[in-house]
Amino acid sequence: MPTSLVAILVLLRSLIRSRVDLQLENLALRHQIGVLQRSLKKRRKNNCNGPPLLGFSVAYMARLALGISHRQAANGCGLASHGLSLVLDLEGSTGTIGTPRDCPRDSRPHPQFVAGESYLGCTPHSRRVVETRHRHRREQCHEDMVRCRKPPSQTCRTFLDNHVSQLVSVDFFTVPTIRFQVLYVFLVLAHDRRRILHFNVTAHPTAAWTGQQLREAFPFDQLPRYLLRDHDAIFGQDFREQLGDMGIEEVLSTPRSPWQRAYVERVIGSIRRECLDHVVVFDEGSLRRFLNSYFNYYHRSRTHLSLKKDSPEPRPIQRPEIGPVVALPQVGGLHHRYQRQAA
DSSP assignment string, 39-106 = H--PPPP-TTS--THHHHHHHHHHHHHHT--HHHHHHSHHHIIIIIHHHHHHHGGGTSSSS-TTS-TT
How much is the average pLDDT of 124-146? 66
CA pair distance 119, 87, nearest whole angstrom: 13
Residue 114 has pLDDT above 50, yes or no: no
pLDDT band for position 274 (cuts 50, 70, 90) = very high
Q: Please, are residues 332 and 293 in contact by the beta-carbon 8 Å criterion?
A: yes
DSSP alpha helices (H): ranges in the chain? 3-16, 19-39, 53-66, 70-75, 77-79, 85-91, 111-115, 124-144, 156-163, 207-217, 237-246, 262-274, 284-300
Residue 84, exposed/middle/buried by CB under 10 A (0-12, 13-18, 19+)?
A: buried
CB-based contacts of 184: which residues, under 8 Å, 6+ apart?
172, 173, 174, 175, 201, 202, 203, 205
What pLDDT does 56 receive?
Answer: 42
How much is the average pLDDT of 272-280? 94
What pLDDT does 222 receive?
Answer: 82
pLDDT band for position 266 (cuts 50, 70, 90) = very high
What pLDDT does 293 receive?
Answer: 96
CA pair distance 26, 6, nearest whole angstrom: 21
Q: Which residue has the higher pLDDT, 127 or 102?
A: 127
CA pair distance 13, 36, nearest whole angstrom: 27
- The full set of domains in the chain, from first to last, is 54-142 (no CATH), 165-312 (3.30.420.10)
* Single-letter code of the amino acid located at 92: G
CA pair distance 288, 275, nearest whole angstrom: 12
Q: Which residue has the higher pLDDT, 102 or 231?
A: 231
- If residue 188 lies in a helix (H) or strand (E), which one and from where to where? strand 182-190
Give bridge partners of residue 48 from the DSSP assignment: none
How much is the average pLDDT of 259-288? 94
Mean model confidence pLDDT for the chain? 76
Does the reported pTM lie above 0.85?
Answer: no
pLDDT digits (tens, 9 = 90+) for 42-83: 544 444 444 444 444 444 444 444 444 444 444 444 444 444
Residue 32 has pLDDT above 70, yes or no: yes
pLDDT digits (tens, 9 = 90+) for 144-192: 665 666 666 777 677 777 888 899 999 999 999 988 899 999 999 999 9
pLDDT band for position 198 (cuts 50, 70, 90) = very high
